[in-house]
Amino acid sequence: MSVGAPKGLASSGRKPITEILHPLSAAEEPLSPGPDVTVTVEGDKEPGLTNGTPVETPSPASASLLFNRLQLDNDSEADGRDPYATAETRDLFVTVDDPKKHVSTMETYITYRVSTKTTRIEFDLPEYCVRRRYQDFDWLRTKLEDSQPTHLIPPLPEKFVMKGVVDRFSEEFVETRMKALDKFLKRVADHPVLSFNPHLNAFLSAKDLNKRQGLALLTKVGESVKHAAGGYKLRARPAEFCAMGEYLDTFSHKLGTIDRIAQRIIKEQSEYLTELREYGSLYSNWAGSEEELQRPLEGVGNSVSTCCGALDDLSENMSQDFLPVLREYVLYIESMKSVLRKRDQSQAEYEGRLEAAALRKQEDRTPMPAEVEKCQDKVECFNADLKADWERWQSNKRQDFKQLLTGTADKNIHYYEKCQAAWESLVTLLQDKQAEDKTSETN
């Protein structure tokens, strides 16, 4: 059996939503659809699979899937390459860009343009263009967490920024935040389950996101997970989830270390830059009191100055591109940990009820209550969802860090290339002059 998306609930009066079947339920019968619900299969042979994700086994980190991810996006309409989606079967493209400042009497805030292109029938139109602010993203994420508690929801950039410490309206801050929001939305759109969530649909398409009214679209699982808060203690986390937990802890720690190292490098580079600037200007000063040596000295001063500019660019890049991605992954790890905890809770509830029922059975031989079975299903679903998301997350992480680290190496190479060019042109200039002088001397 599988956990489905909301059944038969309209979202803002549009067409009813597809029954979302679990990606791992490939072998099982699709749920008999309700009167309003249709099952769509997008470009894939296996029935019941959503989004055409060619999952043969419950490990999307398999070679073929990875290959798909790494494929160049030749036939997509996407603005840029999205390393997360499979090339052939993507049918939902989202982009966040174009930040604008809005000033009202009450407050000042930034909105971003969210553009959507899609062929999915869940959407009425093939294209949407709406403006959303951070609050709206936050709302979306909360709704996703509530309605899909068994899934890993990608993180958002930090919500609170200390006023006075960071300028919320500086170009850099807005740019960094926007990139993170774009990444968040793309990850959601790429997720085989999350991307069909009606809240996402509303977020992408509604003219006015009426959040207060709230789309009461809680899944069955959502409700029951919320109620499962009460006091069940987990006895033993299964080994594989333990391994996940340990991995996340260690990984988070390492990322923290890398973050500190990167910050230290930025600091050292900044201090080096200060001294280097003075150093360069001294050569230029010296040039002023020399005749024959004026050109070489000025040349050195200029080359040093060029290197300063290149270093400035490098450091800025570290701050703006490298560090935010690291920090975002730390948040991602926290999300994953919280999903693990929820899974633990759900298992705890099941075990608790099971125990209680077993005791009662002993006493008065009543059959296993249906609740217990439901709990068991819940746990199994949760485990399956989590495992699938975990594999996806691992694969994405690998891609993301490969890109991040290669990019950093590139920036450093670029920095040295710029410096080398500056010095080489100086040497050529000076050696040419030297040759000139010598020929004129010997003549």
Rule CB under 8 A: is residue 64 a binding residue for another protein?
Answer: no
81 is an interface residue for another protein by CB under 8 A: no
CB of 314 to another protein, least distance (A): 11
User: Angle, to 10 degrees, between the axis of helix 323-364 and the axis of helix 370-442?
Assistant: 170
Smallest separation, CB 275 to another protein (Å):
5
Task: Verify binding: residue 330, another protein, rule CB under 8 A.
Answer: no
Long-range Cβ pairs for the range 76-80 (8 Å, 24+): 77/117, 78/117, 79/115
DSSP 367: P
Which of 104, 105, 442, 443 contacts another protein by CB under 8 A?
Answer: 442
Q: Does 430 bind another protein (CB under 8 A)?
A: yes
Which residue number, 173 or 401, has a Cβ lying nearer to another protein? Answer: 401
What b-and-e string marks burial along 325-355, b requiring 16 or more CB atoms within 10 Å of the CB? bbbbbebbbebbbebbebbbbbbbbbbbbbe
Q: In this chain, which stretch among 16-24, 81-89, 332-340, 396-404 interacts with another protein, using CB under 8 A?
A: 396-404
**Spatial distance between the Cα atoms of 167 and 428, rounded to a whole number of angstroms:** 45
Instruction: Please answer whether residues 283 and 305 qualify as being in contact, where contact means their C-beta atoms are separated by less than 8 angstroms.
Output: no
Residues 6+ apart with CB under 8 A from 274: none
419 near another protein (CB under 8 A): yes
221-280 positions binding another protein, by CB under 8 A: 247, 250-251, 254, 257-258, 261, 264-265, 268-269, 271-272, 275-276, 278-279
Cβ 431 to another protein shortest distance, Å: 6
CB of 278 to another protein, least distance (A): 5
Closest CA to 22 of 6, 1, 40: 1
Nearest-approach distance from CB 326 to another protein, in angstroms? 12
Q: Under the criterion CB under 8 A, does residue 410 sit at the interface with another protein?
A: yes
Cβ(24)–Cβ(384) below 8 Å? yes
C-alpha dist (Å) from residue 388 to 213, 316, 367: 33, 37, 33
By C-beta, is 46 or 432 nearer to another protein?
432
Cα separation, 181 vs 96, whole angstroms: 7
37: closest CA among 53, 24, 52, 21?
Answer: 21
Q: Is 169 in the site for another protein (CB under 8 A)?
A: no
| One character per residue 284-313, x = contact with another protein (rule: CB under 8 A) | -xx--x--xx--xx-xx--x---x------
DSSP string, 146-187: HH-TTSPPPPPPPS---BTTB-TTSHHHHHHHHHHHHHHHHH
Query: CB-wise, 217 or 419, nearer to another protein?
Result: 419
Q: How many CB atoms lie within 10 A of CB 443?
A: 5
The distance of closest approach from Cβ of residue 405 to another protein in the complex, given in angstroms and rounded to an integer, is 4
Q: Which is nearer to another protein, 358 or 413 (CB)?
A: 413
Q: Considering the complex, what minimum distance in angstroms separates the CB of residue 177 from another protein?
A: 26
CA 26, CA 31: separation in Å to the nearest integer? 12
Q: Which CB, 169 or 272, lies closer to another protein?
A: 272
CB distance 388 to 370 below 8 Å:
no
CA pair distance 102, 274, nearest whole angstrom: 37
Nearer to another protein, 206 or 333 (CB): 333
Cβ proximity to another protein: between 173 and 423 the closer is 423
DSSP per-residue letters across 80-110: S--TTS-TTT--EEEEEEEEEEEE-SS-EEE
Q: How many positions of this chain bind another protein (CB under 8 A)? A: 57
CB-wise, 101 or 253, nearer to another protein? 253
Comparison of 236 and 293: residue with beta carbon closer to another protein = 293
Minimum distance, C-beta of residue 240 to another protein, in the bound complex (Å): 14
> For residues 89 and 284, which CB has a smaller minimum distance to another protein in the complex?
284
Stretch that binds another protein, among 11-19, 118-126, 385-393, 401-409 (CB under 8 A): 401-409
Q: Which tokens is 155 given?
A: 């993180």
Please report, as ranges, the residues that interact with another protein according to CB under 8 A: 247, 250-251, 254, 257-258, 261, 264-265, 268-269, 271-272, 275-276, 278-279, 282-283, 285-286, 289, 292-293, 296-297, 299-300, 303, 307, 398, 401-402, 405-406, 409-410, 412-413, 415-417, 419-420, 423-424, 426-428, 430-432, 434-435, 438, 441-442
